[in-house]
């Protein structure tokens, strides 16, 4: 009889992350669903908790391979890869790693806004290429402070972004399901109205089916030729085809994007855009925060296996 109460699922785990989980609990590793199916029935029956990382869908079919599974502990705040409904009907709890990554994601959102407005990526290349030394100057860029920003989704990350931008003397607007307690920020009941009122549109929605293409073609058009879109949520939350067209045709001014549909296989049309700052989904990608996320994932697993309260349950 095997006794490996923990299943580590996902090729996205680094060796160091796997080592830490395995040091805490007897564990078996599977890169994908297929690797679970080939585990022995004994081994599968011994699994009580699943440590998950990545974006590959995890649904009922996988859960049914693990008859004693009680917890899916996600690494990350966004758990749209996990079918929570499938988990709930099977009595499986789901946890995520909220809050510990808010600061980093907000920092990168603001960083992309400044980098896009101030043409920083090209500026860096300009210096290094020696072109500056010849006396040639880059075109002037665009002032960010004092302009108007719209936050789409005023959850914890959205608020952390807005709080930072307030220090840049920006006028804060937002759209959320309902009006929230704020320091005088302007509420919009729909995203098109928000887009038409602002210079920068920052998407801080949760992912998943409910928010698919939430920032629609119409919202992108409403933003207009001075508008800049920043997305640090999920590629799915915006109509990516409409976004690419708007960037290619300059019907919006630019974008700062940390997330994409089908990432890491980004639509190659993005590569040629000179009005977008592109980042490889590294909103939470700091040493400090990834460690905090791993610790919170492990704390949830340990809580479940020792029968104490989960720290950050989702369902």
Catalytic annotation, residues:
234, 263, 281
Nearer to a second copy, 63 or 170 (CB): 170
Q: Measure the CA–CA gap between 97 and 314, rounded to whole angstroms.
A: 10
Q: Measure the CA–CA gap between 263 and 204, rounded to whole angstroms.
A: 18
Nearer to a second copy, 91 or 139 (CB): 139
| 268 binds a second copy, rule: CB under 8 A | yes
Cis peptide before 12 (omega within 30 of 0): no
Dihedral (CA of 275, 277, 280, 284) sign: negative
Cα distances from 154 to residues 98, 143, 200, 228, in angstroms, run: 15, 25, 15, 18
Query: What CA dihedral angle connects 251, 254, 258 and 261, to 10 degrees?
Result: 20
Cα distances from 194 to residues 105, 236, 239, 282, 284, in angstroms, run: 22, 19, 16, 27, 27
Applying CB under 8 A, among 41, 184, 271, 307 the residue interacting with a second copy is 271
Site mask for a second copy (CB under 8 A), range 63-102, x = bound: ----------------------------------------
| 183 binds a second copy, rule: CB under 8 A | no
Applying CB under 8 A, among 265, 306, 307, 309 the residue interacting with a second copy is 265
The count of residues interacting with a second copy (CB under 8 A) is 58
Per CB under 8 A, the segment of 205-213, 222-230, 244-252, 257-265 that binds a second copy is 257-265
Number of other CB atoms surrounding residue 70 within 10 Å: 16
Per CB under 8 A, the segment of 72-80, 194-202, 232-240, 266-274 that binds a second copy is 266-274
Q: How far is CA 285 from the centre of its chain?
A: 11
Nearest distance from C-beta of residue 160 to a second copy, angstroms: 9
| 264 binds a second copy, rule: CB under 8 A | yes
Strands of the sheet with 6-9, listed across from one edge: 27-30, 6-9, 49-52, 71-74, 93-95
Nearest distance from C-beta of residue 36 to a second copy, angstroms: 21
Nearer to a second copy, 67 or 146 (CB): 146
Nearest distance from C-beta of residue 265 to a second copy, angstroms: 5
Classify residue 71 by its DSSP letter: E
| 233 binds a second copy, rule: CB under 8 A | no
Q: With both helix axes pointing from N to C terminus, report the angle between 102-117 and 120-129 in degrees, rounded to the nearest 10.
A: 60
Nearest distance from C-beta of residue 144 to a second copy, angstroms: 5
Contacting positions for a second copy (CB under 8 A): 103-104, 106-108, 110-112, 114-115, 117-121, 123-124, 126-128, 130, 132-135, 137-138, 140-146, 163-164, 166-169, 263-266, 268, 270-271, 277-280, 282, 285-290
């Amino acid at each position: 009889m095997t006794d490996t109460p923990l299943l580590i699922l996902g090729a996205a785990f680094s060796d160091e992350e796997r080592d830490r989980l395995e040091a805490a609990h007897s564990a078996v590793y599977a890169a994908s669903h297929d690797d679970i199916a080939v585990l022995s029935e004994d081994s599968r029956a011994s699994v009580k908790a699943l440590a998950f990382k990545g974006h590959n869908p995890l649904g009922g079919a996988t859960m049914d391979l693990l008859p004693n599974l009680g917890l899916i502990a996600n690494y990350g705040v966004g758990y749209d890869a996990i079918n929570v409904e499938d988990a709930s009907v099977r009595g499986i709890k789901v946890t995520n790693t909220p809050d510990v990554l808010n600061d980093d994601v907000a920092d990168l959102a603001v960083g992309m806004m400044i980098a896009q407005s101030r043409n920083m990526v090209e500026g860096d290349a300009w210096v290094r290429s020696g072109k500056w030394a010849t006396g040639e100057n880059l075109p002037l860029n665009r002032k960010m402070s004092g302009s108007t920003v719209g936050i789409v989704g005023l959850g914890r990350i959205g608020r952390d972004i807005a709080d930072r931008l307030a220090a840049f003397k920006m006028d804060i607007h937002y759209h959320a399901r309902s009006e929230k307690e704020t320091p005088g920020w302007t509420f919009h009941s729909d995203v098109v109205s928000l887009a038409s009122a602002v210079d920068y549109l920052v998407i801080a929605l949760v992912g998943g089916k409910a928010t698919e293409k939430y920032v629609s073609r119409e919202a992108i058009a409403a933003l207009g030729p001075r508008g800049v879109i920043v997305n640090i949520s999920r590629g799915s939350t915006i109509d990516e085809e409409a976004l690419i067209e708007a960037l290619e045709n300059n019907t919006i001014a630019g974008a700062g994007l940390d997330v994409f549909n089908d990432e890491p296989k980004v639509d190659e049309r993005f590569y040629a855009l000179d009005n977008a700052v592109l980042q490889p989904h590294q909103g939470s990608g700091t040493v400090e925060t990834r460690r905090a996320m791993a610790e919170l994932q492990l704390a949830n697993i340990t809580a479940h296996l020792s029968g104490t309260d989960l720290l950050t349950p989702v369902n």
